[in-house]
Amino acid sequence: MNPPAPTLPLISQHELQAMAYSDPLTGLGNKYRLRDKIKLLAAERAADPAPFAVGIVNIDGFKPINDLFGAHAGDEILCQVAHRLKACMMDGSIVTRHDGDEFAFILPLIFERSGAERVGQMIKDVLSAPYDLGDRNVRLSSSFGFAIHPFAGEEFEDLMKSAETALYRSKRRGRGQITVYSREIAQEMKRATQLEQALRNAIISDTIDVHFQPIVRLADSTVIGFEALARWHDPDLGFVPPDVFVPLAEERGFIDALSETLLRKAAETALSWPRELFLSFNLSSAQLMDPSTAANILSSLRRVGLDPRRLELEITETAVMSSADTAQRIISELQHAGVRISLDDFGTGQSSLGRLRDFTFDKVKIDRAFVSRISTDRPSEHIIKAIVAMCDGLDLEVVAEGIEDGSEAEKLRGLGCAMGQGYFYGRPADAASTRRYLHDSYRVASADLN
């Protein structure tokens, strides 16, 4: 005779409903509770339509927490975020876990933009305090998107779509931003989406171009390499600046495809140059957070046939700081293969000296903000002098960016700066023009030797 089956505890209808409307990790309500609460509030105010606000907050840079410290640490931070958000809510307000590292809240007593921005700033300050993970503390910023009912949408779906649009704009503007939805913002996001589609098509059709700006030895103005610069001219949009479409590719998650296209084209062009010339290429912050970046770059070089020792990758302090451990591994792997690493825009970040201590660079590029004032501003001159002396002591090469005229070049030579680039030495030019420039330069050099 078989023993009787164990009796499972009965779950009441109320308990089942509570489970369906709750987030099991944080104990907050979930998106279904948010939906019902918004619909209920909208119905209550239908006869006398007083506005109210909904908001979405996203934790900036949350994914690296899971990658670096594990899922348990990520869950702990989410629980701490939930606790802080509950403590921030005023009477009648509700906070829910919206999705992943996003939380949403309803603010019944917030009627307009300034009030939403004020609440957002208060919550942002609370969330910026360190998170305790036992043996370490972690600081994180947060981005916000707000929508005011009924102006940003009368139905739940429309209202939340507006809040998501505002949040997305905040993320585009950088970390720790607050945006309240408006029709102008909606139009801006629509244009960004159109631009994204055009850029994706340009990558697929291989119509993104690469131009090259010479980098010279200041002592005799001899070209020693070129920096590759992205250029895009769309048939409908016209010329789109790289400071518009490159960040867009980062934000929309296809910077790898864009970078791979640009590096391939640049490397193919560099094969036609004299072998002693190097190619300088910019890496984005998103690529320095991707562990596969080094392998992808080296694979591209192998396919093209360019010696890694002829490649120099430029990275910024901001990019390095986004995910320091991953960036360090990527840099080490690339340098081991012979690729040189240059710290770009030196002097404009918040911790330049710390970057030089923590990372192994081959070269430093002095930002044009100092170079452009070297002839008229003594502090800029002294800063450049100090940078050159420091890099000499650290066995780092130095390049000055943005040299516009001969007086700047002469000053830099006098201060001991060995290399430079800028319009004084040549504007960015396409591959064919660069080849002609080199052909003419080397022909003149050969004639001088004869």
**Domains of the chain and CATH, by start:** 23-181 (3.30.70.270), 197-449 (3.20.20.450)
pLDDT means per 10 residues in the chain (450 residues)? 57 64 92 93 83 95 79 91 94 89 94 95 95 86 95 92 92 88 89 92 95 96 96 94 90 90 97 96 89 95 97 84 79 96 75 64 89 85 90 91 93 93 95 91 50
**Joined tokens for residue 225:** 């390499």
- Contact (CB, 8 A) for 205 and 195: no
Q: What is the 3-state secondary structure (H, E, C) of 363-379?
A: EEEECHHHHCCCCCCHH
Strand partners, 214: 226
* The pLDDT of residue 179: 96
- Contact (CB, 8 A) for 159 and 152: yes
**Joined tokens for residue 85:** 């958000």
* The pLDDT of residue 67: 74
**Joined tokens for residue 306:** 């360019």
Backbone φ, ψ for residue 435 (5° rounding): -65, -40
Q: Measure the CA–CA gap between 233 and 400, rounded to whole angstroms.
A: 29
* The pLDDT of residue 316: 82
* The pLDDT of residue 369: 86
* The pLDDT of residue 447: 44
For tokens 């330069």, name the residue. 441
Omega into 150 within 30° of 0, i.e. cis?
A: yes
* The pLDDT of residue 286: 85
For tokens 């701490």, name the residue. 80
Q: Measure the CA–CA gap between 166 and 58, rounded to whole angstroms.
A: 12
* The pLDDT of residue 450: 38
* The pLDDT of residue 445: 47
b/e per residue 260-275 (b: at least 16 CB within 10 A): ebbbbbbbebbeebee
* The pLDDT of residue 45: 84
- Contact (CB, 8 A) for 356 and 394: yes
Q: DSSP of 20-42, one letter per residue?
A: HTB-TTT-SB-HHHHHHHHHHHH
pTM for this entry: 0.72
| Residues recorded for the chain | 450
* The pLDDT of residue 378: 86
